[in-house]
A and B are shown apart, each in its own frame.
Chain A
């Protein structure tokens, strides 16, 4: 994977864990805030690792790992304010964590016991969207809606953030969303985690120019940020969201990162990328660099790191036991969310299916 010229990339924390400055994006955090970001990164990685293991043990049908993309997601998630609305893909476990969504909610979807059953309103975190890029249209429409509701403008305005991947930039839906967002100055941030691969398809097959430069063609700013740098991602996303909430229209953020694992647990990345590339990206690990920084500048002591580790252990145990204990859904729930107010036909189908289940000797309990 070719390296971009340094000037293009917003970076505030180098892979070695040294702070750098950027003329447009200044960020000054307290020790507590730095430590909180570190804790977030570790927790998110641990949720992901446990879910991956659970899939390998047959407890999840599939899992989309975010390994390597923790900083991009935590940076974006922590940049959001309470009133901001997120439209995730199916990989935004880290953003969900930052929004306060119980990780078990995502596991329920991948275990196949529900259809993604959290209330988007509760944490301003929309349901996972499986269709590639479709959430950009949802987000844009939602953003246009809140603008019409008068919730945009000023410091307290609302903003919307749509998550997408590099592969999604080739989707028609995404380009349509860009156009609508642009011409209606919708308060939406398009946060693209460029993890270099659309399943097996490398970035060269998506674009001939850096992705962030596409935004100019649609008529809004595009910026490329080091997606493995949680500080830079936080600063850049915060600015873009603030622009949106103030009525300045959309921004496209390309968080330049790397998917360290497989596309999903059904994928074998060794078939389409070479080990040396993965090794090179290991050196840019988002957690290692923040840890180096915390230690070197004495923002944290060994007890802190030990505490985070044991907290992560507890979280992993919670995820595991919660996953194994998930009740299987009543079969009739299949029919519950087809129409908001039901329909005679669905009612008949439900009744028929219920009778069918009852015809089994075990009472149709599963």
Chain B
């Protein structure tokens, strides 16, 4: 038996097909004990910790955090006898040589490594592969067992599969011979014979789709598969001949002039789950509980842009990345200090407004996991340099899809930088529990009246949405005006305000 043990993602909740690796609690080289939590996985039903099925040393993690994995896929390999001399890689578990007939229709999920008896994917007592327990339907359907080749031509007649599915007529055989066994079957032979003439074709869904894609009518395809089913090959063979002998009901196979169509074959269905689902719930909750009001301000930010350039050249900022967003973050922190009520939350349960003295500054980020809003804790107390470092850190972590849950909670106010997509502004929806969100448009060169003359200046649009239960128009306007004032003339406002 191999000392290297793979562990497959189990079905954690009755019929789940996949799970997302939220966070690894171990890394390669770590020694783990039996039942020690190794990974946190989120499924459609719950986020759960998986306890280690082995004691040993972690040899390999097969998937990164943030990846969504099918049930039954290896996620981690353990070395259960660390310290022993490296053994040869265990040979693949011997699988029975499938017969020629079975090869076409059967997929056997190969096991790279033998697994301990009784464990998933391993030989169960009696030399079987254990799949009865703990696998989702996806894997089960993928693991068709090889069937015995038919020994006599009459075999399909006795195929119990047919008798177990009495309502599906067998167009090839039912008329020829009555079914001989099975109480439910008695008396059905005649019925089946009658149905045979108008019998529906038998083909698996992917084959049906292939035929549809090729514009073939399945009823006209000659079936060679087991029990009279139409196989993929049958369809492809028929498609090759279709141009020669077009079928009356078939759609044209050759390239036809485009015809307007709007059926479901041209729709893509994306399951709503994971971050998308959470985002949707948060947005709905926010949009329909907090009455939003949004205000806009267009600002000449040329001085800010120059300041950014000077800061970049400054030794104090060596090794970090200064950009306009850093100044906006500073502007928000300062404007909050001058307008504290903007940084508060509506506590319905206690009928209170909670005004926060700390600023946990959220930055909306498009990440591989979808929209996330990690926040910089206590940003109001950070120097510009610290703010720049924190922002760079936060963005890098988010882009890697490694934002820890702690960074996602406790936010008090948010900036969403839609400007990076080249748009001017938007009407952002509040991050739930917060009272204001700032949208930052793109900075573009515009004709602008500067010192009584039209000049080319760098101009940016700001928008602030606020929870009108907490924030009145006056407060919202002052906050936005302060933001604008800072970005218009950072040096002067900094001297004046701090």
Q: Known: A57-B53, A360-B145, A365-B128. Contact between A352 and B182, CB under 8 A?
A: yes
CB pair A355 B148 closer than 8 Å: no
Interface membership of A62, Cβ < 8 A: yes
* Segment at the B interface, from A131-139, A259-267, A334-342: A259-267
Q: Are B13 and A266 in contact (CB under 8 A)?
A: yes
B124–A328 CB distance below 8 A: yes
Q: Max chain B CB contacts within 10 Å: which of A57, A61, A324, A353?
A: A57
Chain A residues with CB under 8 Å of B98's CB are 361
User: Of A49, A265, A361, A362, which is within 8 A of B13 by CB?
Assistant: A265
Please report the C-alpha to C-alpha distance between residue A315 and residue B126 in the assembled complex, in whole angstroms. 26
A268 near B46 with CB under 8 A, answer yes
The reply to whether the CB of A23 lies closer than 8 angstroms to some CB of chain B is no
A360 engages B135 (CB within 8 Å): no
Do A56 and B48 touch (CB < 8 A)?
yes
Indicate if B191 sits at the interface (CB-CB under 8 A). Answer: no
From known contacts A266-B14, A359-B160, A361-B146, infer whether A348 and B182 are also in contact, taking CB-CB under 8 Å: yes
B134 touches A60 (CB 8 A): yes
Contacts of A262 in B (CB 8 A): 46
**For the complex, is B184 an interface residue (Cβ under 8 Å from A)?**
yes
Is A351's CB within 8 Å of the partner chain B? yes
**B183 adjacent to chain A (CB < 8 Å):** yes
Measured CA separation A325–B127 after assembly (Å): 13
CB neighbours of B48 from chain A (8 A) = 56, 265, 268
Interface range on chain A (Cβ under 8 Å from partner): 35 or more
> Are A57 and B50 in contact, with the CB atoms below 8 A?
yes
Contact (Cβ within 8 A) A324 B47: no
In angstroms, Cα B144 to Cα A359, docked, is 13
Binary per-residue interface labels of chain B (1-29) against chain A in the complex, 1 for a CB within 8 Å, 0 otherwise: 00000011011111000000000000000
Whether a CB of chain A sits under 8 angstroms from the CB of B390 is: no
Q: Is B266 an interface residue (CB 8 A)?
A: no
Please tell me if A327 contacts chain B, counting CB pairs below 8 Å.
yes
A345, B128: Cβ atoms closer than 8 Å: no
Q: Which residue of B lies closest to A327 (CB)?
A: B125
Task: Tell me which of B8, B148, B160 contacts A58 (CB under 8 A).
Answer: B8
**A56-B10, A356-B164, A360-B145 as given contacts; A112 in contact with B132, CB under 8 Å:** yes
Tell me, yes or no, whether B119 is within 8 Å of chain A by CB: yes
Interface assignment of A208: CB less than 8 Å from any CB of chain B: no
Fill in one digit per residue for B125-154: 1 if any A CB lies within 8 Å of its CB, else 0: 111111111110000000001111000000
Give the complex CA separation of A172 and B409 in angstroms: 43
B13 in contact with A356 (CB, 8 Å): no
**In the bound complex, what is the Cα–Cα distance between A62 and B136 (angstroms)?**
12
> Cβ of A275 < 8 Å from any Cβ of B?
no
Residue in chain B with minimal CB distance to A267: B46
A357: nearest chain-B partner, CB-CB: B160
Asked if A344 is an interface residue, CB under 8 A from chain B, the answer is yes
Nearest CB on B from A18, distance (A): 34
Q: How far is the CA of A361 from the CA of B147 in the complex (A)?
A: 5
Would you list which residues of chain A between 261 and 308 have a CB under 8 Å from chain B? Answer: 262, 265-268, 270-271
0/1 string, B43-54, CB within 8 A of A gives 1: 001111111010
Contact partner of B133 among A58, A267, A362, CB < 8 A? A58
How far is A150 from B217 in the complex, measured between Cα atoms in Å?
Answer: 74
Specify which of B46, B102, B147, B158 lies most central, judged by the most chain A CB atoms within 10 Å of its CB: B46
14 additional A-B residue pairs with CB within 8 Å, beyond A58-B11, A61-B14, A359-B148: A55-B12, A58-B134, A58-B135, A59-B118, A113-B132, A266-B46, A267-B45, A323-B118, A324-B117, A328-B128, A345-B183, A352-B182, A360-B147, A366-B131
